Copies of this chain bind each other. A is one copy, B any other.
Amino acid sequence: MGKLLIVGTVAFDAIETPFGKTDKILGGAATYIGLSAAHFNVDAAIVSVVGEDFPQEYLDIISSKNIDISGIEIVKGGKTFFWSGLYHNDLNSRDTLDTQLNVLADFTPVVPEKFKDSEVIMLGNLHPNIQISVLDQLTSKPKLVVLDTMNFWMDCALEELKQVLKRVDVITINDEEARQLSGEYSLVKAAEIIQAMGPRYVVIKKGEHGALLFNDAQVFFAPALPLKEVFDPTGAGDTFAGGFSGYMAQQGTVSFHNMKNAIIHGSNLASFCVEKFGTQRMENLDKHEVQSRLQQFKMITQFDIELAE
């Protein structure tokens, strides 16, 4: 059973979509990553920070999925990171209404002793210096380091981001961010430039338009499952990253073949995440549903054309 170390936010979200509105609910990148990675045979731990206001029941939700939460620091008297967002009618764009860093402002991650030799490291979207600090604490070289990031860090911590990129194997990034980071509109060219920055594997997330995987001259594409209803896109990218890194930790071998399957598993799990508000759908998702939708993924993408010699 491979060890998977997840670093990222555990937070409160308040979400408004055309279909409804939530008060403060369980959110955060590491939460979504963990709930998704828990679908694989892995020994996972989250490194994060919350305030004293964070409900025990939320921590219980995470640990009930057999995720080690000893690396989630609880700051006495502190307040938990809070994000609030409003999605537009097409659900493809959103406005951030409020961001309160709170305890995240002074977060110094401490990797639990047991997970310092993890095979797979999933660095959720955080300041690049926090991501570097986690890598510095490892006692053995991981098989795979996966990094997620966003345009915010390209705007205000680009040099630090470039430093951490030199130390990762996989970057997951959305299409606009790939264009910003590379300065190229063509995603093929963007992926080439980003590979030269460090990560051998570049995963470009295109939301409802699927995800691309680049590795040297090899390319793989997975669609997003066409859904009748998308209720709340929050956490879809992190759920994708959780499925991706969870599968890779379970398999234990880094290959393009495994990476392709990891992309499919990530896309598959993300397709559930968006069906309900926040983490609701991921909290209650059983193996049969996951397998049955994987079958759908096969159906919609696999074909059989005989090629001439």
Q: Is A210 a contact of B223 with CB atoms below 8 Å?
A: yes
Q: A221-B300, A294-B307 are in contact. Are A189 and B228 (CB under 8 A)?
A: yes
Identity of the chain B residue whose Cβ is nearest the Cβ of A213 in the assembled complex:
B300
Interface residues of chain A: helix, strand, loop or mixed (majority): mixed
Q: Tell whether, in the assembled complex, residue B186 and residue A261 are in contact, meaning their CB atoms are under 8 Å apart.
A: no
Who on chain B is nearest to A308 by CB? Answer: B291
- Check A230 against B186 for contact (C-beta < 8 Å): yes
Q: For residues 206 through 230 of chain A, which have their beta carbon under 8 Å from a beta carbon of chain B?
A: 206, 209-210, 212, 218-223, 226-230
Q: A185-B90, A226-B187 are in contact. Are A305 and B299 (CB under 8 A)?
A: no
Q: Out of B185, B187, B219, name the residue touching A299 (CB < 8 Å).
A: B219
State A31–B161 Cα separation when bound (angstroms). 49
The interface bits of chain A over 288-304 (1 if a CB of B lies within 8 angstroms of the residue's CB, else 0) are 00010011101111111
Given A221-B301, A300-B220: A226 and B307 interface contact (C-beta under 8 Å): no
A265-309 near B? 1/0 per residue, CB < 8 Å: 100000000000000000000010001001110111111110110
Residue of B nearest to A257 (CB): B304
Are B298 and A305 touching (Cβ within 8 A)? Answer: yes
A260 beta carbon closer than 8 Å to chain B: yes
Out of B222, B229, B295, which one reaches A186, CB within 8 Å?
B229
Say yes or no: A218 contacts B186, CB within 8 Å: no
How many of these chains are in the complex?
Answer: 2
Tell me if A188 is interfacial: C-beta within 8 Å of chain B: yes
Contact A186–B260 (Cβ < 8 Å) = no
Expressed in whole angstroms, the minimum distance between the Cβ of A124 and any Cβ of chain B is 25
CA distance A261 to B305 in the complex (A): 7
Give bound CA distance, A296 to B187, whole Å.
17
User: In the complex, are the beta carbons of B302 and A302 less than 8 A apart?
Assistant: yes
Any chain B CB within 8 A of the CB of A264?
Answer: yes
- Hey, which chain B residues are within 8 Å of A299, CB to CB? 218-220
Q: How far is the CA of A185 from the CA of B212 in the complex (A)?
A: 24
Residue on B with the closest CB to A204? B226
In the complex, what's the smallest C-beta–C-beta distance from A206 to chain B, in angstroms?
Answer: 7
Q: How far is the CA of A298 from the CA of B261 in the complex (A)?
A: 15
Query: Quick one: closest B residue to A287, CB to CB?
Result: B308
* Docked pose: A27 CA to B219 CA in angstroms: 32
In the complex the two chains form, what is the Cα distance from A303 to B302 in whole Å? 8
A-B complex: 9 closest residue pairs judged by Cβ atoms: A209-B209, A221-B223, A188-B228, A260-B303, A221-B300, A219-B300, A188-B226, A261-B305, A291-B308
Q: What are 13 of the A-B contact pairs (CB < 8 Å)? A: A186-B228, A188-B227, A209-B209, A212-B226, A219-B226, A220-B299, A220-B303, A221-B301, A264-B305, A265-B305, A294-B307, A298-B305, A302-B303
